[in-house]
Amino acid sequence: MARKTDEQILADLGTAPDGRLARDVNLWTLEKLATLQLYLKAFATACQSVGGGIFVDGLAGPGMCRVQDAVFPPEFVHGSSLIALQTRPMLERCLSIEKGPNEAKVLRERSAPFGERAIVKQGDVNSDLVPLIEKYVGGAPCFCLLDPEGSELDWSTIAALASIGRRSRKIELFILFPLEMGTVRLFPLKKNLDPGSREVATRTFGGDEWEVVYRARRDGLGAPEAKARYLNLYQDKLRRLGYKHVREKPIKAPSKPGGSRRTHYHLIFATDHPVGDEIMEDIFERPYILQFPVTGQRGLGI
Ligand SMILES: C[S@@+](CC[C@H](N)C(=O)[O-])C[C@H]1O[C@@H](n2cnc3c(N)ncnc32)[C@H](O)[C@@H]1O
C-alpha cells in the first residue's frame, strides 16, 4: 500500500471550524494525531476479518483542535475521537471518556452523526474507564488512547486495563507520557521534593522506583540520562504487565515555526500482537508531517 504524503495526512486531519469549543494545541500535536490516524487505519483494516475493532479514548477532549501558530493550513484539525470515527474501513465502535462537562457535551454533539458507533461518556479515566470498557467493549480487538495533558493518568488505571480478561489479546495501549512537559518538573534539584509532587510521581509510576533515579540525578546524574531512566522505568513496567512489545517515540518540534527542535513528550505503544508492533514501528520511523507546517518545506512523499 502506498504511503500517504505529509500533505495528504494533513488534509485528512484538517476540518472546518463549527463555532463550538476547540482545544488549543501546539504544532507538535499534529505528529501525535497523524500517528493515531495512520495506526487506526491499519488497525481497522486488520480487524475487518473479525467484524471491526474498537477504539477507546480515555481522555478524549472535545473532538476538534485549533493549531496555535499555524502558518500553514490546516488551522483546525479533528481530535482523536473524531479521527477514529472517520477511519476507513470503519471501526465497530468508539468509546470516549472525558471529564470536562463542556468538552464531553461538545464531543457528544460532534459524534452524533456517527450514531450508535459513537459512545461518549462524561467521566474520570481513573475511576470510570475500566467499568465502561467492561460494559461496551467485550472481546473485540481494542486500541486505547490515553492522552493526558499532565499527571492525570494513574498507573493503577494502566495496570487495570492490562488485566481485563478477554477472549482476544490484551487491549493495545497508546500512551502520551509527558516526561519533559510534566514528569521531570515534579523533581526539583535545589529544594526538597514536596509531598504533593511525591504523591503524583508515585501515582504516575505506580510505585516509588522513580526515587532511585531522582536520587541519582540529585547526586550528579546528567539530565538526559535521568530522563532515559524514567522512560525505561515506565516502559519496563508495561512489559511487566505482560505486554510483549513496547516501543516509544519522542516528539521533537520547535515551539515556534523555524525554531530549534526539542523533545516535548513521548508516545508509548504497548501491544502483545507482533503485527500491531510492526505497523507502529513503521509509523514511528517516518519523519513526516511536521516538516511541512513547521518549515513550509514539502515532505518526502513517504
Ligand atoms: C490532551 S487532552 C486530549 C486531547 C484529545 N486526545 C484530542 O486529540 O483532541 C486531555 C483531555 O482530558 C481531559 N481530562 C483531564 N482529566 C481527566 C480525567 N481524569 N478523566 C478524563 N478526562 C480527563 C481534559 O479535559 C482534556 O480534554
25 Cα to the center of ligand 1, angstroms: 12
Label the pairing between strands 54-57 and 142-146.
parallel
**What is the maximum span of the chain, computed from C-alpha positions, in angstroms?**
57
Q: Whose CA is nearest to atom 7 of ligand 1?
A: 79
- Placement of cell 513496567 in the chain: 237
Domain boundaries, the chain: 6-186+244-295
Write down the pLDDT at residue 287: 67
Lowest mean pLDDT of 50-54, 135-139, 288-292, name the range.
Answer: 288-292
Cβ(153)–Cβ(125) under 8 Å? yes
150 Cα to the center of ligand 1, angstroms: 10
Q: Which residue from 169, 134, 176 is spatially nearest to 53, judged by alpha carbons? A: 169
State how far the alpha carbon of 173 is from the alpha carbons of 39, 207, 272, 274, in Å: 12, 20, 10, 14
Q: Whose CA is nearest to atom 9 of ligand 1?
A: 79
Write down the pLDDT at residue 293: 59
- pLDDT confidence tier of residue 288, bands split at 50, 70 and 90: low
Residue 270 phi, psi (nearest 5):
-130, 130
Lowest mean pLDDT of 123-127, 163-167, 238-242, name the range.
Answer: 163-167
Q: Whose CA is nearest to atom 12 of ligand 1?
A: 59
Burial class (CB in 10 A: 0-12, 13-18, 19+), 169: middle
- pLDDT confidence tier of residue 153, bands split at 50, 70 and 90: very high
Residues with CB under 6 A from ligand 1: 23, 59-61, 65, 79-80, 97-100, 103, 124-126, 147-149, 152
How many angstroms from the chain centroid is the CA of residue 136? Answer: 21
Atom of ligand 1 nearest to the CA of 97: 21
CATH no. for 6-186+244-295: 3.40.50.150
> Does the pTM of the predicted model rise above 0.85?
yes
Write down the pLDDT at residue 3: 79
Q: How does the average pLDDT of the chain come out, rounded?
A: 91
Q: For 190, how many CA atoms within 13 A lie in the half-sphere containing its CB?
A: 0
Write down the pLDDT at residue 299: 47
Write down the pLDDT at residue 289: 58
